[in-house]
Every structure is written in structure tokens, then in C-alpha cells.
Structure 1
Amino acid sequence: MRLKDKVTIITGGAGGIGRGMAMAYVKEGAKVAIVDLDKEAGEKVLKELQKYSPDSLFIQQDLTDRDKLSDIVEQVADKYGKIDILINNAHASKMASIEETTQADLDFSFNTGFYPTFYLMQAALPYLKETKGKIINFSSGAGINGHTNQGTYAAAKEAIRGISRVAANEFGPFGINVNIISPIAKSEGIMKWAEESPEYYENMLSGIPMGRLGDVEEDIGRTAVFLGSEDSDYITGQTIMVDGGSIKLR
């Protein structure tokens, strides 16, 4: 129960890595509020979470609506009285070469990934100051290695890494840790992508020294538990590669 009664917000919590982290968190005693646009999937995951933590919460919200982002934070704070951990996981993008990328493609990636991450950190900061809380953001090997046809996704993910490092420096004096997970996991999104781009997928898989995709709960979720717990109190501003050894940062 390393996260007993830790109030946690997880965006994109209705599936994939978000669901995996939510399940790992409630099993460690956390009170989790998942945020997602998909109402049906969100309510389904909520029922799973409530088996372990009856006080779990699902908030249906379009994260591209910036005016509503602070409402998410306020709703969680009003229900639980505090916020301990913010996990910015949600992100969507369209694959295209740089040559074919449109302004709409760029806007879509930044509006679903970078801007919600930035504004939710900003909105949650007063509460995280009170709890000396944790922030976990998400990056990707697409940005670190520069994967082809993922320009908008890579750009937004690297922007998230950059602002996370700034936040680590600015929030550190308040006792707030800010870290980044860069995962490879067997999520619904990855498997859909595998069907659409089988050669690219097989090439990625062959580059994983561990020889497998990560499990959304056991691998990514457990890493997020570590970063949300007091065990990681002296770690901040770091990109944690949870990718089976695919990328070795220096």
C-alpha cells in the first residue's frame, strides 16, 4: 500500500497505459480520478477500479477544451480535499511525413498532448505545493529517436519533456517531483498501429532487447507507482525509459 490515500489524477485513463496505471495505483491504495473523453470506456474502467477503491472517480472531459482543464482539478480537489499526484498521459496524433503535415495535424497533437499537460500542471500546482506532490508526464521514443511520419507527435512529446525539466527546476523548491516516462507497451493504440504498419511495428519490436512489449499495468503501471511514491523523492527532471532497453539515454 505504498500509495495509501494518495489522490491521483490520470488523464487518458479509460484505456491502454492510462488504465494500466490506474489499476496499479488503486491496488497500492490510491484514490484515483481518471479523465477521458470516452464515456463508455471510462465508466467500464471505473467499475474495475471501484473493486479495489470504491471512492474512485471518472470525469468525462475533452482535454482540448482549455477552459475546462482547471475544472478537472477543482472537481478532484473538492471531492477529496487534496491532490497528491498528477499523471498527464493522454495524447493523440495523426501520422504523416513532414512534407504532408498540415497546421491542423500540428494543432491536434499539441492540443491533446502538450497543452493539457502544461495547463493541468499549472492548475494543480497550488494543491501539489500543499502535499509536496508528484507529477508524471509522458514522452516517447518517437521524439527521442525521431521516428519517421511521427513529426507532430514527436514535436509535442519533446515539448512535454522540455517543459517537464523546467517544471522540475521551478517546483523542486516546493518539494514537488516532476518526472517523465517514455514507454513501449502493448496498448490498444500500439496494436492498432501494428495492424496498419506491420513492417514498421516488426522493426520496432526487433529493436527491443527484452524481446517483448511492456505490460501496461505490470511494467508501466509499476514504474508509475514508484515515481508516485516516497521511494522516488530524490528523483526529479528525469526521463525514465520503460521500453525494454530500446533507447539508452546518456
Structure 2
Amino acid sequence: MGKLQDKVVIITGGAGGIGSGMAKAMVKEGAIVTIVDLNEETGKAMEKELQKISPKSMFLQANLIDRANLHKIIDTVVEKYGKLDVLVNNAHASKQATIEDTTQADLDLSFDTGFYPTFYLMQAALPHLKETKGNIINFASGAGIAGHETQGAYAAAKEAIRGISRVAANEWGRFGINVNLISPIANSPGVQAWAKAQPEYYEAVKNKIPMGRFGDVEDDIGRVAVFLASEDSQYITGQTLMVDGGSIMLH
């Protein structure tokens, strides 16, 4: 029996990167995972990989910008499996620009793919998570906590997600629901591409991480997600876990 045996999990942005790392870590602990993604090709490929371990797991194609249909993601999963135990809001897209050059379109992209889906999926999932005393895992970023340059739109949405997560933790703790955040640094495909394009800058950033490396999407980030989705974390809520090798030490 795994730590997440027969728990029904939704992971947005689950077809690649950190999302796929969490999905793989969770199915290995017995979870039934639905990965939600816009990209059908990568989504179907990840579905096949997950089903080798967890045959009931599936891929659901959805555009998270389509706010009116976000509840259908929750409805589809609950209709198929009869319950929902864990919601992981991982998907987020953004463009880098200085605050001076940030446009309304840049802000809209970040909030429409990050904050609003997180908010509305949490809202839609609430009745079902009340029944299971379930878990919500949202995603923060060092870009917002430390205020990284050229990340204004992304940082604003991420800090909004942190804010609403703390409110939900206070409001929903009475239902046995815990709401936490992961703030990661991970060796995702995007970071790997950046390492090839700007190797000197990549090495400089890596060398500033106290643990001297970028996290593995499955073994480092995914395992923390397993912990937050499991009974082991039942008395933790409203917290931001810095899964970043010590890059930012909250106090």
C-alpha cells in the first residue's frame, strides 16, 4: 500500500516538467492521477506512461483560460472516480518584462493561466474535498517572494495565489482540508533549454543554490507533493514550502 493508495488526484499542467514529476511520484504511491494540459500530444504520451503503473489514471485536455468551463474538469473527474482527494494547481504561463514594459496582455496571460484557474478550481473542488477531507497544493515562486527582476506579471499572480491559499487554509481548516504551497527550483525542460542557451548564467545561478543543484522534478519536487497529499501532512496548512535547495530561507 502506497502513501496515496486509491487517492484521486488532479494535476494541472501535468503533461511535462514539474507537473509530470509530481504525477509520476504520486502514481508510484498508489494514486489515481488525472493530468490536465492543453497539449494533447504530450498529454497522451504522459497518460500512457502513468497508466503503466496506475491503469485508471488519465489525461484531460483543457484550456485553463476558459474560465466558464473550469468546473467541468472537477465534474469529469468526480463523475469518473466518484470522489476527489487532491487538487494540484501547477499550470502557469507568463512573459518576462520589466515593470516599465509590462503590458495589460502580459498581466492577463499570467493571471488567466495562473491565478484565476487556481481560484476557480479550488472553488469548484471544495464540495468534493469536504467529503474526503482532502488536500490542495498550489504553487508559489521565488520570483514573487524575492522579487526577481523582469518577473512582475508572474510574481504578482504567484503572490496572489499565496494570498488566496492562506485565506482558504483559514476558511477550510474546519472541514479538514489543508491548503499548502510549494515554491520550487527544478531542473525542468525549460531550465534545461536555458542551460544550453546561456550556460554561464545557468552555472552562476546554480552555484548560488546552497545545495549546489537544481531539484529533480520527480525525486525532489514530486516527493514533497506526495507528502503534502498524504496523511503525513494532515496538521500542516497555509504554509509555503521552499523546495529550492536553500535558495530562499523564509523567516
Normalised by the length of structure 2, the TM-score is 0.97
Where in structure 2 are the equivalents of 1:47-62 lying within 5 Å? 47-62=48-63
What is residue 12 of structure 1 aligned with on the other side? 13
Instruction: Tell me the secondary structure at the aligned position of residue 98 of structure 1.
Output: coil
Query: Cα offset for 1:241?
Result: 0.4
What is residue 178 of structure 1 aligned with on the other side? 179
What is residue 105 of structure 1 aligned with on the other side? 106
Instruction: Tell me the secondary structure at the aligned position of residue 240 of structure 1.
Output: strand
Letter in 1 for 2:247: S
Instruction: Tell me the secondary structure at the aligned position of residue 135 of structure 1.
Output: strand
Structure 1 unaligned regions, length at least 5: none
Letter in 1 for 2:226: V
What is residue 228 of structure 1 aligned with on the other side? 229
Where in structure 2 are the equivalents of 1:62-141 lying within 5 Å? 62-141=63-142
Instruction: Tell me the secondary structure at the aligned position of residue 210 of structure 1.
Output: coil
Letter in 1 for 2:94: S
Change beyond 3 A, Cα 1:142–1:199: farther
What RMSD over aligned residues (CA atoms) do the two structures have, in Å? 1.0
Query: Cα offset for 1:198?
Result: 4.8
- Alpha-carbon distance between aligned partners in 2 of 1:196 and 1:85, rounded to the nearest angstrom: 36
- Alpha-carbon distance between aligned partners in 2 of 1:205 and 1:143, rounded to the nearest angstrom: 19
Letter in 2 for 1:89: N
Letter in 1 for 2:151: Q
Query: Cα offset for 1:4?
Result: 0.3
What is residue 2 of structure 1 aligned with on the other side? 3
What is residue 32 of structure 2 aligned with on the other side? 31
Letter in 1 for 2:232: D
Instruction: Tell me the secondary structure at the aligned position of residue 100 of structure 2.
Output: helix
Letter in 2 for 1:51: K
- Alpha-carbon distance between aligned partners in 2 of 1:176 and 1:26, rounded to the nearest angstrom: 21
Cα deviation 1:82-116 (Å, max 9, x = unaligned): 00000000001001111111000000000000000
Instruction: Tell me the secondary structure at the aligned position of residue 242 of structure 2.
Output: strand
Query: Cα offset for 1:172?
Result: 0.3
- Alpha-carbon distance between aligned partners in 1 of 2:208 and 2:180, rounded to the nearest angstrom: 25
Query: Cα offset for 1:8?
Result: 0.2
Cα deviation 1:167-221 (Å, max 9, x = unaligned): 0000100000000000000001222344455555333212100000000000000
- Alpha-carbon distance between aligned partners in 1 of 2:156 and 2:90, rounded to the nearest angstrom: 16
Structure 1 residue 21 corresponds to structure 2 residue 22: yes
Aligned residues: 250
- Alpha-carbon distance between aligned partners in 2 of 1:167 and 1:195, rounded to the nearest angstrom: 40
Instruction: Tell me the secondary structure at the aligned position of residue 100 of structure 1.
Output: coil
What is residue 214 of structure 2 aligned with on the other side? 213
What is residue 248 of structure 1 aligned with on the other side? 249
Change beyond 3 A, Cα 1:203–1:145: farther
- Alpha-carbon distance between aligned partners in 2 of 1:229 and 1:190, rounded to the nearest angstrom: 29
Normalised by the length of structure 1, the TM-score is 0.98
Instruction: Tell me the secondary structure at the aligned position of residue 99 of structure 1.
Output: coil
What is residue 188 of structure 1 aligned with on the other side? 189
Identity value in percent: 72
Structure 2 unaligned regions, length at least 5: none
Runs of 4+ in 1 over 4 A off after TM superposition: 195-200
